[in-house]
């Protein structure tokens, strides 16, 4: 049978390119878990994904109620779950003031980390039940986790501190919209959320890999400088960023190539090792990358797990 893959945020950029690459293998059916149903349908059509290879289901990660509803709808479809890809993200580098999810968490960490945290935890049961031989749970990471690169060191750098802002519920009524309890900074909030994504993948691996056989993985697909992720940036940045990445840092990768990379992590039989953060070198071959100290700190991963459980209502 076909492999059933849920991809969050498959209505544009990396998620859409991955859905297309997986569809082209002829061996996958993609559940496009998206907040804008019509946009997702149109995107799938425009990308030329055949109707029988995808289903759009509504999911707004900025609402925990919507996450629970999505899980319910998916279960009622009767389809098994073989692979979950947590891909959606928001990036608000120019925001002066924080904005919030339905439950009142700062939007970047609330969407990118907490929404996915609840989704992954709930769908773990479905993955366990699937009879598919290579079950996987993938959380898209970012270069901000590797401090051995130039881009991973550009300020403001990710820093979760002692997680006091997260304990306070990520809003400025109680404490601070930032995980470390500091002043709001949209670019930093995004980077912090990506560190959370990578820590969560490793904690999932430690807790569940042996017992379930599920492969847990994260990746940095390269700098996909033209995706919608940069839609909130200033126009000059959006003009200069792609050539800068192409010719200066040489980290640039097209949406199509990035989609092929993520599709590899979803379905390549040679990429089934669990607990790995994948990256690609210049000739596009995959390798196991090292994470920064903070993004691989097991103590922090555990603390993040326990606080996140409370915030999303699992503990």
Q: Which residues carry out catalysis?
A: 190
Maximum CA extent, the chain: 50
Q: In 160-184, which positions are buried (b, 16+ CB within 10 angstroms) versus exposed (e)? A: beebbbbbbbbbbeeebbbbbbbeb
Nearer to ligand NDP, 112 or 274 (CB): 112
Cα angle 295, 157, 137; round to 5: 35
Could you tell me the smallest distance in angstroms from the CB atom of residue 142 to ligand NDP?
Answer: 4
Could you tell me the smallest distance in angstroms from the CB atom of residue 199 to ligand NDP?
Answer: 15
Nearer to ligand NDP, 176 or 197 (CB): 197
Task: For residue 249, state whether it binds ligand NDP (rule: CB under 6 A).
Answer: no
Pick from 271, 268, 281, 170: which is nearest to 220 by CA? Answer: 281
Distance, CA of 146 to CA of 149 (rounded, Å): 6
Contact status, residue 105 vs residue 170, Cβ threshold 8 Å = yes
Task: For residue 264, state whether it binds ligand NDP (rule: CB under 6 A).
Answer: no
Distance, CA of 311 to CA of 119 (rounded, Å): 13
Selected from 38, 39, 288, 293, the binder of ligand NDP by CB under 6 A is 39
Site for ligand NDP in 76-115 (CB under 6 A): 87-90, 111
Pick from 106, 271, 279, 250: which is nearest to 176 by CA? Answer: 106
Distance, CA of 115 to CA of 312 (rounded, Å): 8
Tell me the residue nearest to ligand NDP as measured from the CB.
13
Nearer to ligand NDP, 98 or 128 (CB): 98
Which residue shows structure tokens 């479905």?
126
Site for ligand NDP in 114-153 (CB under 6 A): 140, 142
> Interface with ligand NDP by CB under 6 A: which range of 46-54, 56-64, 71-79, 268-276?
56-64
Judged on CB neighbours under 10 Å (0-12, 13-18, 19+), 91 is buried
Relative orientation angle of helices 64-76 and 116-129, to the nearest 10 degrees: 20
Could you tell me the smallest distance in angstroms from the CB atom of residue 9 to ligand NDP?
Answer: 3
Alpha-helical (H) ranges within 48-152 are 64-76, 107-109, 116-129
Judged on CB neighbours under 10 Å (0-12, 13-18, 19+), 207 is middle
Question: Would you give the binding string for ligand NDP spanning residues 7-36, x where CB under 6 A is met?
Answer: -xx-xxxxx------------------xxx
Could you tell me the smallest distance in angstroms from the CB atom of residue 147 to ligand NDP?
Answer: 15
> Interface with ligand NDP by CB under 6 A: which range of 118-126, 130-138, 223-231, 289-297?
223-231
286-288 and 276-280: which strand pairing?
A: antiparallel
Site for ligand NDP in 164-203 (CB under 6 A): 194
> Interface with ligand NDP by CB under 6 A: which range of 54-62, 150-158, 198-206, 278-286?
54-62
Selected from 60, 106, 203, 294, the binder of ligand NDP by CB under 6 A is 60
Could you tell me the smallest distance in angstroms from the CB atom of residue 210 to ligand NDP?
Answer: 27
Selected from 163, 166, 224, 307, the binder of ligand NDP by CB under 6 A is 224
Could you tell me the smallest distance in angstroms from the CB atom of residue 72 to ligand NDP?
Answer: 16
Residues that bind ligand NDP (CB under 6 A): 8-9, 11-15, 34-36, 39, 59-62, 87-90, 111, 140, 142, 194, 220-221, 223-225, 227-229
């Amino acid at each position: 049978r076909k492999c059933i893959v849920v991809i969050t945020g498959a209505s544009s950029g990396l998620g859409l390119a991955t859905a297309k690459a997986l569809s082209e293998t002829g061996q996958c059916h993609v559940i496009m878990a998206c907040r804008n149903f019509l946009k997702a349908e149109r995107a799938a059509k425009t990308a030329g994904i055949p109707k029988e290879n995808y289903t759009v289901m509504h999911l707004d990660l900025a609402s925990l109620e919507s996450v629970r509803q999505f899980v319910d709808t998916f279960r009622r479809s009767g389809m098994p779950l073989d692979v979950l890809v947590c891909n959606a993200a928001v990036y608000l580098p120019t925001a002066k003031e924080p904005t919030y999810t339905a439950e009142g968490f700062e939007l970047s960490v609330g969407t990118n980390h907490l929404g996915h945290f609840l989704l992954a935890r709930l769908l773990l049961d479905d993955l366990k039940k699937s009879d598919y031989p290579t079950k996987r749970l993938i959380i898209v990471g970012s270069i901000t986790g590797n401090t051995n690169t130039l881009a991973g060191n550009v300020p403001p750098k990710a820093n979760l501190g002692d997680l006091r802002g997260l304990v306070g519920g990520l809003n400025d009524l109680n404490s601070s919209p930032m995980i470390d309890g500091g002043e709001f900074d949209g670019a930093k909030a995004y980077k912090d959320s990506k560190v959370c994504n990578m820590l969560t993948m490793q904690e999932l691996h430690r807790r569940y890999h042996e017992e379930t056989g599920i492969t847990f993985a994260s990746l940095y697909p390269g700098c996909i400088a033209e995706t919608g992720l940069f839609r909130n940036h200033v126009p000059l940045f959006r003009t200069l960023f792609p050539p800068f990445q192409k010719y200066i840092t040489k980290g640039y990768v097209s949406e199509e190539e990035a989609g092929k990379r993520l599709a590899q992590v979803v379905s390549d039989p040679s990429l089934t090792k669990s607990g790995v953060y994948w990256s690609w070198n210049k000739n596009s071959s995959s390798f196991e990358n090292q994470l920064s100290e903070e993004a691989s700190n097991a103590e922090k991963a555990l603390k993040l797990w326990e606080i996140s459980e409370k915030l999303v209502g699992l503990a």
